[in-house]
Amino acid sequence: MMSLVTFTRNNALPLLRTSITVRIQLNSASLSSLVRLEEKQGYAVVAMHKPPVNSLSLEMIQALSESLSELEKNKCKGFILTSACPGIFSAGLDIREMYQPTEERLKEFWSSLQTLWLQLYGSKMASVALINGHAPAGGCLLAMCCDSRIMVNGKSKIGLNETKLGIVAPFWFKDTFVNTIGVRQSERALQLGSLFTPDEALKIGLVDRVLPDPEAATAVAESELKEFLQIPAMARYLSKMRIREAALKDLLENREKDLNTFVNFATTDAVQKGLGIYLQSLAKKN
């Protein structure tokens, strides 16, 4: 089997004024091959690696959660979230998890996604999404959870396209969207299931920078993260929470209700039919 985690170590000094040496001692044995972690100077790179499209299956969601926990455990101050699959950031939730599921797995799937969102959106670590490919729906959600978004220009698109699949973005996807691009843009884009080109995304504030190629985008993502890391960590985190805490609290207080709503909605005949047709249309393309 291939190496489970790509992990390089160096002895560089930390970047943070407020931190002691950032030394990430990753427990590679317990981490999954779906996420590659790399230690850099004072931060980490978290690269999704589930070819072909980094779809967020239960295992992928749990691997991301586990990776974040590992970074937190090691007092990592910041990370870049990106993809190791060329041309794709993440195709969003693995639709096969929602199509003809068993109730038990469907519940575990959704509950794990809730956990990942709470962890990522409420993270004390600074984070930059290096969006090096398509980022529809759940892929866009992951990017929006980060503190800054750098997108590579090209044919890739980003947005919450749920309505195009006949499903509805849950309230916490919507809250994240509204906190990122505002109410009016969200209301329109959510209804239309809009997917935006990098330049369109830049215009509405869904991404912060668009760079012509992956190398330039990587350099900007690194310098962007360093800028965040230079701010005193507590002040930066509490300021972020001023914006995010209401949404986080809402899900924390309504997890069970949200889980039941999802399971009831996802298993209706109409949604199952729609997901089946959508999966077929993806397969037909090939």
**Minimum distance from residue 33 beta carbon to ligand L4XM7KOE (Å):** 18
Q: Is residue 193 involved in binding ligand L4XM7KOE (CB under 6 A)?
A: no
Q: b/e map of 184-212 (b: 16 or more CB within 10 Å)?
A: ebbeebbeebbbbbbebbbebebbbbbbe
Of residues 124-143, those binding ligand L4XM7KOE (CB under 6 A) = 134, 136-138
Question: HSE (CB half, 13 Å, CA atoms) of 114?
Answer: 23
Of residues 172-191, those binding ligand L4XM7KOE (CB under 6 A) = none
- Interface residue with ligand L4XM7KOE among 197, 261, 267, 272 (CB under 6 A) is 261
Residues 76/40, Cβ–Cβ less than 8 Å:
no
Q: Is residue 95 involved in binding ligand L4XM7KOE (CB under 6 A)?
A: yes
Based on the residue annotation, tell me whether 70 is a catalytic residue of this protein. no
**Residue (55 or 176) nearer to ligand L4XM7KOE, CB:** 55
Structure token digits, residue 194: 């809009």
d(CA 180, CA 190): 13
**Residue (130 or 233) nearer to ligand L4XM7KOE, CB:** 130
Q: Which of 38, 39, 70, 162 is catalytic?
A: 162
**Minimum distance from residue 94 beta carbon to ligand L4XM7KOE (Å):** 4
Structure token digits, residue 79: 């990370």
- Residues found near ligand L4XM7KOE in the complex (CB under 6 A): 52-53, 55, 88, 91-96, 134, 136-138, 161-162, 165, 167-170, 261-262, 265-266, 282-283, 285-286
The catalytic residue positions are 93, 138, 161-162
